[in-house]
């Protein structure tokens, strides 16, 4: 399972990278705005800064919603750095753009996936990744994890190579459950990743080991 961090915060990206387990980064316009990164040039520079910190894929989102605009923006984003994956929204024009990018060797992440049908058509168009937003489904009383299971089944039935990138992961249990269901990738906040490290019995056990070592020395 690949681990991506879902943030535009460079300190958090560095922290995850230093852990040695980071496979990539996802961002979106909201996460950029949260870090105060505004204006096209600043946003493009920020993507390059992120690519220079991590070794893996970095999703960079188009803002246009028409085919020509998405192609123009996507080609510019892809040209920034070889690690860039162009993030395209799940709309009709977006599917056409994903097909174009796929035919032209540009990798894509189809974002805002909320149903198995959307994931199916994105895979048909040749998306590299699909991003089902599990937390946002949970927010509206719908089981986000069930969507991961449905997409996994459909992709395995036909051998689609599109990777399931579980997004809108909010906490550590989401990561565990996505791993059980066979999501290829998860993207979440640093806190959700660091939660995987924690167990009180580990802390108690280590304190006891150190205490006993001191007794003998
Ligand atoms: O990866 C998608 C993500 O950024 C959305 O997360 O928590 O705003 O639903 P959230």
Residue 10 scores a pLDDT above 90: yes
Angstrom distance (rounded) from CA 89 to CA 29: 12
The two tokens of residue 45 are 């520079």
Q: In this structure, what token pair is assigned to residue 50?
A: 């992120």
- Predicted TM-score (pTM) of this structure: 0.96
Q: What mean pLDDT, rounded, does the chain reach?
A: 97
What pLDDT is stored for residue 216 in this prediction? 82
Q: Does residue 155 register a pLDDT over 90?
A: yes
Reduce the DSSP state of residue 87 to 3 states and report it: strand
pLDDT tens sequence across 66-115: 999 999 999 999 999 999 999 999 999 999 999 999 999 999 999 999 99
For the Cβ of 182 lying below 6 angstroms from any atom of ligand 1, the answer is no
Mean pLDDT of 122-128: 98
Does ligand 1 come within 6 angstroms of the Cβ of 187? yes
What is the torsion angle, in degrees rounded to the nearest 10, for the CA atoms of residue 98, residue 103, residue 106 and residue 109?
A: 30
**pLDDT value, residue 213:** 96
Q: Which residue has the tokens 């937003």?
A: 133
Using alpha carbons, list the distances in angstroms from residue 36 to 16, 33, 112. 21, 5, 23
CA of residue 69 to ligand 1 center, whole Å? 24
**What's the alpha-carbon Rg for the chain, to the nearest Å?**
19
Query: What distance in Å separates the CA atoms of residue 134 and residue 91, rounded to the nearest whole number?
Result: 18
Average pLDDT in the 136-141 region? 98
Q: What is the mean pLDDT of residues 8-14?
A: 98
8 lines ligand 1 (CB under 6 A): no
Is 167 a residue whose pLDDT tops 90? Answer: yes
Q: What is the pLDDT of residue 137?
A: 98
Please report the pLDDT score of residue 43 as a whole number.
97
Question: Whose C-alpha lies nearest to ligand 1, atom 6?
Answer: 168
| Position 180 confidence tier, pLDDT thresholds 50, 70, 90 | very high
Which tens digits make up the pLDDT trace of 38-74? 999 999 999 999 999 999 999 999 999 999 999 999 9
CB count in 10 Å sphere of residue 217 = 5
Q: Which residue in 87, 124, 198, 215 is the catalytic one?
A: 87
% residues pLDDT > 70 (the chain): 100
87 is a catalytic site residue: yes
* Residue nearest atom 10 of ligand 1, based on CA coordinates: 168
Q: How far is the CA of 209 from the centre of ligand 1 (A)?
A: 40
């Amino acid at each position: 399972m690949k681990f991506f961090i879902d943030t535009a915060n460079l300190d958090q990206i560095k922290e995850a990278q230093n852990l040695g387990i980071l496979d990539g980064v996802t961002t979106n316009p909201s996460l950029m705005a949260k870090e105060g990164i505004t204006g096209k040039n600043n946003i493009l520079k920020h993507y390059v800064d992120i690519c220079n910190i991590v070794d893996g894929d970095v999703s960079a989102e188009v803002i246009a919603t028409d085919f020509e605009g998405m192609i123009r923006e996507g080609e510019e984003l892809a040209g920034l750095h070889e690690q860039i994956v162009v993030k395209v929204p799940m709309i009709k024009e977006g599917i056409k753009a994903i097909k174009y990018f796929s035919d032209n060797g540009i990798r894509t992440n189809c974002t805002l996936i909320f149903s198995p049908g959307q994931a199916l058509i994105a895979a048909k168009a040749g998306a590299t990744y699909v991003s089902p937003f599990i937390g946002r489904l949970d927010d509206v009383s719908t089981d986000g994890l069930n969507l991961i299971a449905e997409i996994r089944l459909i992709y395995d039935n036909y051998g689609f190579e599109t990777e399931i990138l579980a997004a809108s992961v909010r906490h550590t249990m989401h990561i565990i459950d996505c791993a059980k269901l066979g999501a290829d990738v998860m993207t979440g906040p640093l806190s959700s990743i660091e939660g995987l490290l924690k167990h009180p019995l580990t802390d108690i056990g280590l304190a006891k080991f150190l205490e006993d070592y001191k007794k003998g020395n």
